[in-house]
Amino acid sequence: MLAFNVAQLLKEGIGATRRYELAGELYDIDEHNPGPVSVQGHIQLIVTPEGVLAIGEAELSLITVCPRCLTLTESRVTVEIEEEFYPVIDVVSGRPLPDDHDDEPELLIDERHTLDLSEVLKQYAVAHTLKPAVCRPDCAGLCPVCGENRNFVSCSCETRELDPRLAALAQLLEEPDTEE
Ligand SMILES: [Zn+2]
Ligand SMILES: [Zn+2]
């Protein structure tokens, strides 16, 4: 589960706490990553004067694309979670609470008292896929002539033998200047 009903917890008042296992999958991470990203971890929920603080740790299994050979690689990253969530209605009176946090909809506890960590975890996943890692340190990349993956196929194209690190550098230098 990545979403929890916190009605009972909120009724217990400030300082009340619960601990849950996190397990689930995230979809539609962003336009480049349809997912799924699987999540494993744990979370502690603590009632604060304003809402519920979520503190924990999760392991995300991300699919990334190697920038040299374009192979899909699964990588695991551990993220620390620390976010405060805010209820939209008062759990006792049922009345709406001031909408001070409308600019962060992912941090709202909805009118059914559901605290959902999915959107926050997606943001962590996006942050970790922005800089994709090479599939392995010595990845030989694609042949610039025939496009074969040189990690698996040794083609007979006429190319200068370069150290893979230099090859990556050369590739960078060949790319046209892009505006920051
Ligand atoms: Zn690679
Ligand atoms: Zn080739």
**Tens of pLDDT along 39-64?**
999 999 999 999 999 999 999 988 77
Q: Which ligand is nearest to the CA of 143?
A: 2
Contacting residues for 92 by C-beta, under 8 A, at least 6 apart: 11
- Give residue 144 CA to ligand 2 midpoint distance, Å: 7
Question: Mean per-residue pLDDT for 137-144?
Answer: 92
Q: Is the pLDDT of residue 164 over 80?
A: no
User: Rounded to whole angstroms, how far apart are CA atoms 22 and 18?
Assistant: 13
Position 66 scores a pLDDT of: 85
Q: What are the residue boundaries of the structural domains of the chain, listed by start? A: 3-129, 140-180
- Give Cα 170 to chain centroid, integer Å: 31
pLDDT at 100: 84
Percent of the chain with pLDDT over 70: 86
Longest dimension (CA), the chain: 76
Q: How far is the CA of 93 from the centre of ligand 2 (A)?
A: 71
Q: Which residue has the tokens 């009345």?
A: 95
Ligand 1 centroid to Cα of residue 159, in Å, is: 19
Whether this prediction's pTM lies above 0.75 is answered by: no
Radius of gyration of the chain (CA): 23
Look at 91-105, 121-135, 146-160 and tell me which has the smallest mean pLDDT: 121-135
